[in-house]
Amino acid sequence: MIKTILPVLFAMLLASVPGLALEITSVAPTRATPETRVVLTGGLFSQQSRIYLGEQFVPTIRLLPRQLEFIVPPLSPGTYSLTVQDDIDTAVQPFNFEVLASPPQLTDVEPKNLDVCSDESERLVRVEGRNLSPETQLLLDGKAIGYRLIAPGTMEFRLPDLPAGVYGIEARNPDGTSSLPQSLWVNNVPEISGVERGGDFVNHYEMIIRGKNFFYNSILVVKEPNTSAGGPEIRQLTYYANRGASGAGQGQVAALGEALRYNDCRTLLYLRFPGNFQDKELTLQVINPDGKKTSPYVVTMP
């Protein structure tokens, strides 16, 4: 019913102002990127009014007798003649409307979190976005880095070795427009993922500690039941990677011959000389030089 009445109302409005030419009095904004909403005032407009940018018809998204609204279509950057036409008139003094280049947009980074000891295959980072081209620069903390465009809107690059921290990734097009940055975290918090028993010897054995983000100067803290009479129920031992167990701090016990060996950022080798080879509950924790540490890891071994 409303659709039937609207054309009649517009016709009555036009008829009530005889001789009034179709006109555009203002356009806001006068320059914009595609997908921007534009408000055009003037009139009188009717259901027959049509908007054109250059030769391209642009659908109206809101129509009032004195106002039209439209969305800038995906046109190449440049200046276009903005006109309104109906069955009788073309708007006098058409406006020049400038379509701007769409800035690049980054919509996703995957992975968003990497470890300092990630291997080469884990350092491949994929960036998703819009308005990207082979000429687009990819910036890591403001510095251009190499990448490959693997699909329209998809880039891939290999993250270099970087210290722990938060890094910004952004795209910049040849016209100087840039995207908002996306964050990429490089994490150095150590983590124990598993403990297994290695080689057995006459009076000691190897305990292999697996995880990530270990350092050559990490510290291993071991808590174990104290079997000595009159002592505390739990004793704590501290070992320094690559230094053996040359001493212990207050409240700690040094075990002669025991040592901690750093293999790589994923593996520590603990040479353990137990008082006896009966299984007991041990609590392990790795502490890095910057104070970051693993959650306590409980294992049952001699």
Indicate which CATH number applies to the domain containing 204.
Answer: 2.60.40.10
Interatomic CA distance for residues 252 and 238, integer angstroms? 7
Question: Which residues are within 8 A (CB) of 5 and not within 5 positions of it... i.e. 6 or more apart?
Answer: none
Tell me the pLDDT of the chain averaged across its residues: 86
**CB neighbours of residue 58 within 10 Å:** 19
Predicted local confidence at residue 246, as pLDDT: 40
Q: Are residues 238 and 270 in the same domain?
A: yes
Please give the residue range of the domain that contains residue 177: 105-187
Predicted local confidence at residue 91, as pLDDT: 76
- List pLDDT tens digits, range 261-276: 999 999 999 999 988 8
Q: Are residues 220 and 287 in the same domain?
A: yes
Q: Which of 12-16, 109-113, 116-120, 298-302 comes out lowest in average pLDDT?
A: 12-16
If you average pLDDT over residues 20-42, what whole number do you get?
90
Q: Are residues 165 and 129 in the same domain?
A: yes
Q: Are residues 95 and 23 in the same domain?
A: yes
- List pLDDT tens digits, range 205-231: 999 999 999 999 999 999 998 877 566
Q: Are residues 41 and 30 in contact, defined by beta-carbon separation less than 8 angstroms?
A: no
Q: Are residues 120 and 181 in the same domain?
A: yes
Among 132, 160, 187, residue at a domain's last position: 187
Q: Torsions phi, psi of 120, nearest 5?
A: -60, -40
Predicted local confidence at residue 231, as pLDDT: 65
Higher pLDDT, 258 or 29: 29
Which CATH number belongs to the domain containing residue 169 in this structure? 2.60.40.1220
Half-sphere exposure of residue 274, counting CA atoms within 13 Å on the CB side? 20
Q: Are residues 8 and 65 in the same domain?
A: yes
Q: Are residues 138 and 157 in contact, defined by beta-carbon separation less than 8 angstroms?
A: yes
- For residue 104, is the peptide bond before it cis, meaning its omega torsion is within 30 degrees of 0? no
Interatomic CA distance for residues 192 and 209, integer angstroms? 7
Q: Are residues 89 and 113 in the same domain?
A: no
Number of domain units in the chain = 3
Q: Are residues 183 and 254 in the same domain?
A: no
Q: Are residues 178 and 253 in the same domain?
A: no
- List pLDDT tens digits, range 181-204: 999 999 999 999 999 999 888 888
Interatomic CA distance for residues 266 and 159, integer angstroms? 19
Q: Are residues 197 and 287 in the same domain?
A: yes
pTM over 0.75: no
- List pLDDT tens digits, range 150-183: 888 999 999 998 999 999 999 999 888 999 999 9
Question: Which residues are within 8 A (CB) of 7 and not within 5 positions of it... i.e. 6 or more apart?
Answer: 46, 47
Q: Are residues 75 and 134 in the same domain?
A: no
Q: Are residues 140 and 178 in the same domain?
A: yes
